[in-house]
Amino acid sequence: MAMNELEYADDLPRKSIPAGIPFWSESYAFWVYPDDHRFDLYIHYQRQVADPGIWKAMLVLLLDNGEALVTKSFGRQADDAGPGPAGLNVRCLEPGRRWALRFDAAAQRVLQADLWKSELRDGIVEPLFVEFELDAIAPVWSLDSQNLQKQEAMMSSHDEQAYRSKGVLRFGGRELTFTGAGYRDHSYGPRNYKRMGESQIVLGVFPSRRAFWFITGRTPEGVYAHCEGALAVDGKIYPLKVEDPPFHLDLLKGKESMDYVLNSELGKIRICVRYTGRGIPFSLTSPAEEVIGAVGGFDAVKLAYWEMQILSTWDGEVGVGSAQGTICR
């Protein structure tokens, strides 16, 4: 279901936390990419299940030299206009259209390759400044809540939106001013990683202001819970279905590229996706905790997801985006 108009309250964190719903939480994710693909900025917010008044905020900046700057913090909501604790909170400037973040603190520099071998350990930090604005290129759209409820880890409400982005980064004596693409995800409802099965989220945003996004998910028993998404073309949303979707874990294992066939009222579209080599995993523990890096190494971790930057080709046009997947062993 596409949402062409968004009430102010729907775009913001829930003002009241429902009682009597086990594992209830709320989550936001923001992605920012420059037009020249120099980095992948991923920011994730999630309410703690044990006390939903506490937000976790995690910022991951994947660089083009194999390094990453990462930071994580916790705290009560800093501003009614958006999620996150003081210092790493994001603000909604215009519901359904514009968001902004300003982070001026510190982060830990690590090798992306090391996080596939072990979880993040405490280490030396350095100054990091991040500022960006997002301006929507299409309306918000929502996933089918009935399908989402079949897999509790995905929550019962899931809203998506594609953007153009602009901003500046300062770290390590460098300043990077950029324009580019962006994306946002907002979800709330029960989140229980014990009910997590194999799933993937794949998204791409293009210079022509087109975008695609889809999610496929299975229950722990291997049954498809959902397989749906949307296209954004000329400022309009078109629901899509993915035809026999491959699992992009093969890109991490060295496969050069893979194709996804997307069906909508616009017809059949073939998207070719390739991995840029920038990505890190996150270990998951029940009911809904995340650890940066792979506890015990990626081959041994029991439950994990990953963030990886991808380039997608759609009718000859190259867009940038992300692929996230989960494994459950």
pTM, entire model: 0.93
pLDDT (0 to 100) of residue 148? 47
Under 8 Å CB-to-CB from 248, ≥6 apart: which residues? Answer: 200, 202, 258, 273, 275, 308, 310, 323, 325
Show the domains of the chain with their CATH numbers: 23-328 (2.40.370.10)
pLDDT (0 to 100) of residue 173? 96
Confidence band, pLDDT 50/70/90 cuts, at residue 3: very low
Q: For residues 115 and 293, what is the distance between their CA atoms, to the nearest angstrom?
A: 4
Indicate the SS3 state at residue 329: coil
Contact 231, 208 (CB under 8 A): no
Contact 32, 167 (CB under 8 A): yes
Confidence band, pLDDT 50/70/90 cuts, at residue 198: confident
Contact 135, 180 (CB under 8 A): no
Contact 115, 293 (CB under 8 A): yes
Q: For residues 269 and 74, what is the distance between their CA atoms, to the nearest angstrom?
A: 42
CA 31 to chain centroid, in Å, comes to 6
pLDDT in tens, 262-283: 999 999 999 999 999 999 999 9
pLDDT (0 to 100) of residue 219? 63
Indicate the SS3 state at residue 195: helix
Contact 26, 52 (CB under 8 A): yes
pLDDT in tens, 119-137: 999 999 999 999 999 999 9
Under 8 Å CB-to-CB from 326, ≥6 apart: which residues? Answer: 153, 196, 197, 198, 199, 200, 284, 303, 304, 305
pLDDT (0 to 100) of residue 4? 42
pLDDT (0 to 100) of residue 181? 98
